[in-house]
Structure 1
Amino acid sequence: MTVSKAWDWNKELCPIWLQPSEESYFIAQKWKDKNIKKVLDFGCGLGRHSIYFAKQGFHVSAFDLSEEATDHLKSWAEKENLSIEIKNADMLKLPYDDNSFDAIFAYHVISHTDSLGIKKIINEMTRVLRIGGEIYITLCSKESWSFKEAGYPKLDENTVIKTDEGPEKGIPHFYVNLDDILDLLANYNIESIRHKEECYFSGKKLNSKHYFISASLRTK
């Protein structure tokens, strides 16, 4: 199993990482409607979703492997006068008790591992989520250019290491198809799985595809 590696945020200049994703607006409203209270921002990065969810009235906990990222979020939360529990942690070993959260939001983060690591991460998510609790996660698609055609070195049949200069250099990326998702989330009731292509971003053509997944932890 590969060792977790933090993003190098000094090499990331795109302002998108300070803005809530489109999906977070819908998920926040959905979770408010369901009276969900405690939310874990899983691999929070600079904190764009932690700040947004906290402003929506959720009790937010957040963690990231990067100290630079969590320091940024701490300063941001202080400026916004928001109470967010912020920790440095590895997603392979979460510093939370069992059944701690009503919901987990993991946006473009749990793919940063290999085939063994993803099972460990999902087990950890399941451990800290209450029965019936909800998850919203994204996973990299095997239909993406970066998996099929880029020629990145492979760690295993599902995982490549990105070698381009930038914040993700040297970080593993795990890719799935629909059957892989159904296998990985066998303990969950899946509400929806969307397969989305980013075909143009920041002035460039792309072929970057991700799965966007809503599910709840099944009663054992």
Structure 2
Amino acid sequence: MVESKGWEWEKADQSPWTKPTDHVYYLAHKWSESGFKKILDLGSGLGRHSIFFAQQGFDVSAIDISEYGINYLKEWSKKENLDIEAKVGDMVALPYKDNYFDCVFAYHSISHADTEGIYKIISETERILKKGGEIYTSMCSKESWDFSKSGFPKIDKNTVLNKEEGPENNVPHFYADLEDILSIFHNFDIEKIHHIDYCYINHEKKDCKYYYINGHKK
């Protein structure tokens, strides 16, 4: 299994990563309606989604391998007067009790692993979720340009090592197709899988595709 590596946030344009993605507005309503309370923001980055969920009244924990990211979140939550438990840690060995969380939110984070690592991360996620608890996550798609055409080195048949200069340099990226997802999440009742093509981002043509997975622990 490849060693986990986080983003080097010091090298990033941080402004886009402090605004919550549109997915969380829907999820906050859905999870509130379901009576869910305890949320883990898995791979929290700078903490934009932890802050959002806490502002909506959820009991939020956050974990990321980047000490910079966790320190950023701690300072941000203090300024917002929010109580968020934020820890530095690795997704393959989560420091939480079994059956502890109602929901796990993992946005563009669990794909930062190789094939063996992905299965460990999902096993850990299953362990810490309550029965019937919900996961919402994303995975890189094998239909993306950077999997088949980028020329980046492959660690295994599913995993590319990013070689672009910037915050993700040398961060592994696992890529999936639908069959991979159904195998990886075999202990979850899958509610929805969306396959989205980001044709244009910031007025630039892209070939960047992701799966978004919503499911419940059996």
Which bracket does the TM-score occupy, shorter chain normalised?
over 0.9
Ranges in structure 1 where 5+ consecutive residues have no aligned partner:
none
What is the CA-CA distance between 1:205 and the residue it aligns to?
A: 1.3
Moved more, 141-150 or 200-209: 200-209
TM-superposition CA deviations, 1:105-161 (whole Å, max 9, x none): 000000000010000000000011011100000000000000011111000000000
Distance in 1, matches of 2:6 and 2:182, equals: 28
TM-score normalised by the chain length of structure 2:
0.99
Give the letter aligned to residue 8 of structure 2.
D
TM-score normalised by the chain length of structure 1:
0.98
TM-superposition CA deviations, 1:58-77 (whole Å, max 9, x none): 00000110110000000000
SS in 2 for 1:16: helix
Equivalent position of 2:99 in the other structure = 99
Moved over 3 A (4+): none
Equivalent position of 1:81 in the other structure = 81
What is the CA-CA distance between 1:202 and the residue it aligns to?
A: 2.4
Equivalent position of 1:177 in the other structure = 177
Equivalent position of 2:59 in the other structure = 59
Distance in 2, matches of 1:199 and 1:11, equals: 25
Distance in 2, matches of 1:14 and 1:85, equals: 22
SS in 2 for 1:165: coil
For these two proteins, the number of residue pairs brought into alignment is 218
Sequence identity percentage:
51
Distance in 1, matches of 2:16 and 2:32, equals: 25
What is the CA-CA distance between 1:14 and the residue it aligns to?
A: 4.6
Equivalent position of 1:5 in the other structure = 5
Equivalent position of 1:160 in the other structure = 160
Equivalent position of 2:204 in the other structure = 204
Distance in 1, matches of 2:140 and 2:6, equals: 18
Equivalent position of 2:17 in the other structure = 17
What is the CA-CA distance between 1:164 and the residue it aligns to?
A: 0.6
Distance in 2, matches of 1:14 and 1:126, equals: 31
Distance in 2, matches of 1:185 and 1:115, equals: 13
Distance in 1, matches of 2:152 and 2:39, equals: 35
TM-superposition CA deviations, 1:44-63 (whole Å, max 9, x none): 00000000000000000001
SS in 2 for 1:69: helix
What is the CA-CA distance between 1:6 and the residue it aligns to?
A: 1.2
SS in 2 for 1:86: strand
Distance in 2, matches of 1:16 and 1:211, equals: 21
Distance in 1, matches of 2:159 and 2:37, equals: 35
Query: CA separation of 1:106/1:84 partners in 2, compared to 1, >3 Å: closer, same or farther?
Result: same
What is the CA-CA distance between 1:203 and the residue it aligns to?
A: 3.3
* 1:118 paired to 2:118: yes
Distance in 1, matches of 2:65 and 2:136, equals: 20
SS in 2 for 1:199: strand
Give the letter aligned to residue 181 of structure 1.
I
SS in 1 for 2:126: helix
What is the CA-CA distance between 1:204 and the residue it aligns to?
A: 1.8
Equivalent position of 1:68 in the other structure = 68
SS in 2 for 1:77: helix
SS in 2 for 1:53: helix
Give the letter aligned to residue 188 of structure 1.
F
Distance in 2, matches of 1:108 and 1:199, equals: 17
Distance in 2, matches of 1:6 and 1:202, equals: 24
Distance in 2, matches of 1:14 and 1:60, equals: 22
SS in 2 for 1:150: coil
